[in-house]
Amino acid sequence: MLPVVTSLREHFGPDRVSTNDTVRTQHGRDEGIAREAPPDAVFFARSTQDVAEAVRTCAAARVPVIAYGAGTSLEGHIAAVHGGLCVDMSGMDRVTEVNTGDLDCTVEAGVRRIQLNEHLKDTGLFFPIDPGADATLGGMAATRASGTNAVRYGTMRDNVLALTVVLADGRVIRTARRARKSSAGYDLTRLFIGSEGTLGIITEVTLRLYPVPEAISSAVVAFPTVGDAVDCAIETIQMAIPVARIELLDERQIAACNAYSALDLPERPHLFLEFHGSPPSVEEQATEAGKIASTHHGDSFEWARTNTERAKLWKARHDAFYAALALRPGSMGWPTDVCVPISRLAECIALTEEDLDETFLLATVVGHVGDGNFHVLFVLDPSDERELAEAERLNPRLVDRALSLGGTCTGEHGVGVGKIGSAAKEHGEDTIDVMRKIKRALDPDDILNPGKIFLPQ
């Protein structure tokens, strides 16, 4: 490892490579509870060519290299489980191109989503994918992130037109052009999206943008039970009402948000909804959704009347994780993440609630229920091993339940270290073997974020 540090310091100057303990620790830890492992050194990249040089240097020495965006991943994606060099992408934060006429833009991988939308403010366009955390676009692409808006706008899979990627030998490729569609060969864009830095390091992302809707309305609606709220969400999707957001928060999560985000909602399960479109279309969607809610015993919609109220509502939703943690000062959170076909969602959540009713753990449920995706947030006392053990007992039950209902072990967080076993169970050995063969073909020395997604065999 030392020769890599020496070589990069010679090339870029001493300030660009840190071996400081604090810096290393910070770069080996994400926001989840899966494994932490500090890299041996951290390199601060400023350009694609910098990343290419770092990867070439690591390749020559067969040293692992791990891309780091904002550190907001949840399954130990950035843990340097075999040591090596962390490439911090936060200095690559330029929006390099906005093509308003094509509704697209190109950003360096270290640009964060809030920064991008600030940048786009005067164009009348926005980028909808919103995983809650203020993640980097490179990291979001690498984990195939999504979030609250996915029900309407899709995930990172659907909203990336092209990538610039540094390969394991330091070569730089562009995966596609800016055309909206293409049949010109293998879909390398989609292959790198969700590959978690194991096949290449994404350094630039070309994104689809959308016009800011003429009208946006947000509402909350309370239900007597989680089952009623979920049934309402299912019917809304099955009736093809094009909601932009439809989020479940259970009664415990509502209590947490009331306290943390100064809301004043009844402590019952809620859906948070948002409608985008022309004023008459939003009106129409809201009316239809309201009818469906009332057939599932929902209260009438409480509307966010102003932009400020709307912003407060969604900030509260985004802060749900921190709100849950605040229920118990000093706690650590474990957000699980499964996704099932929507017709099985009610069953999956009901069975999960039974588990939660029986456990001694503190936990809330939030979900992007329009996609069939939900999270149990375990709020754990880090000093109590029994609590972690209990969460470790319940999470596989949740994953198995989702798989048995035709779902996936992770809707949007990714595999990282934490879900290697679950992904193997989901896909089976032959499918994992295809992934492994691709990995070996593109990274024969296993230097790119090794130890993630699947076992090396």
Rg (CA), the chain: 22
* Spacing of C-alpha 78 from chain mean position: 14
Q: What is the largest CA-CA distance in the chain?
A: 69
Q: Residues 391, 378: contact at Cβ < 8 Å?
A: yes
Positions 377 through 416 that interact with a second copy (CB under 8 A): 402-403, 406-415
Positions 29 through 68 that interact with a second copy (CB under 8 A): none
φ, ψ (nearest 5 deg) of residue 34: -70, 175
Positions 423 through 442 that interact with a second copy (CB under 8 A): 423, 426-428, 430-432, 434-435, 437-438, 440-442
Q: Residues 188, 175: contact at Cβ < 8 Å?
A: yes
DSSP label at 103?
T
Sorted by sequence, the CB contacts under 8 Å of residue 190 that are 6+ apart come out as 157
In whole angstroms, how close is the CB of 321 to a second copy at the nearest point?
Answer: 17
What three-state secondary structure class fits 247?
strand
In whole angstroms, how close is the CB of 224 to a second copy at the nearest point?
Answer: 23
Q: Pick the binder of a second copy from 61, 172, 216, 263 (CB under 8 A).
A: 172
Q: Pick the binder of a second copy from 223, 314, 374, 454 (CB under 8 A).
A: 454
Nearer to a second copy among residue 103 and residue 263 (C-beta): 103
Positions 198 through 217 that interact with a second copy (CB under 8 A): 199, 210-211
Q: Residues 64, 449: contact at Cβ < 8 Å?
A: yes
Nearer to a second copy among residue 330 and residue 456 (C-beta): 456
Q: Pick the binder of a second copy from 188, 263, 332, 351 (CB under 8 A).
A: 188
Burial of 107 (0-12, 13-18, 19+ CB in 10 A): buried
Residue (of 152, 31, 24, 106) closest to 414 by Cα position: 31
Nearer to a second copy among residue 13 and residue 428 (C-beta): 428
Nearer to a second copy among residue 121 and residue 386 (C-beta): 121
**Separation CA 256–CA 267 (nearest Å):** 9
Q: Residues 73, 87: contact at Cβ < 8 Å?
A: no
Binding window for a second copy (CB under 8 A); candidates: 3-11, 180-188, 249-257, 351-359: 180-188
Region class of 290: left (phi > 0), else alpha (psi between -120 and 50), else beta: alpha
Q: Pick the binder of a second copy from 120, 233, 256, 453 (CB under 8 A).
A: 453
Site string for a second copy, 311-340 (x = CB under 8 A): ----------------------------xx
- Both tokens of residue 419? 């879900």
In whole angstroms, how close is the CB of 126 to a second copy at the nearest point?
Answer: 12
Place of tokens 């891309």: 67
In whole angstroms, how close is the CB of 47 to a second copy at the nearest point?
Answer: 18
In whole angstroms, how close is the CB of 359 to a second copy at the nearest point?
Answer: 25
Positions 217 through 276 that interact with a second copy (CB under 8 A): 234, 237-240
Q: Pick the binder of a second copy from 13, 22, 101, 360 (CB under 8 A).
A: 101
Per CB under 8 A, 291 contacts a second copy? no
Region class of 223: left (phi > 0), else alpha (psi between -120 and 50), else beta: beta
φ, ψ (nearest 5 deg) of residue 441: -65, -35
Nearer to a second copy among residue 99 and residue 225 (C-beta): 99
In whole angstroms, how close is the CB of 10 to a second copy at the nearest point?
Answer: 27
In whole angstroms, how close is the CB of 97 to a second copy at the nearest point?
Answer: 11
Q: Pick the binder of a second copy from 11, 62, 121, 177 (CB under 8 A).
A: 177
Sorted by sequence, the CB contacts under 8 Å of residue 10 that are 6+ apart come out as none
For CA atoms 175, 178, 181, 184, the dihedral sign is negative
Burial of 202 (0-12, 13-18, 19+ CB in 10 A): buried
Amino acid type, 147: G
Binding window for a second copy (CB under 8 A); candidates: 5-13, 23-31, 255-263, 371-379: 371-379
Nearer to a second copy among residue 182 and residue 307 (C-beta): 182
Q: Pick the binder of a second copy from 42, 371, 375, 417 (CB under 8 A).
A: 371
Q: Pick the binder of a second copy from 278, 295, 300, 383 (CB under 8 A).
A: 278
Q: Pick the binder of a second copy from 18, 90, 195, 449 (CB under 8 A).
A: 195
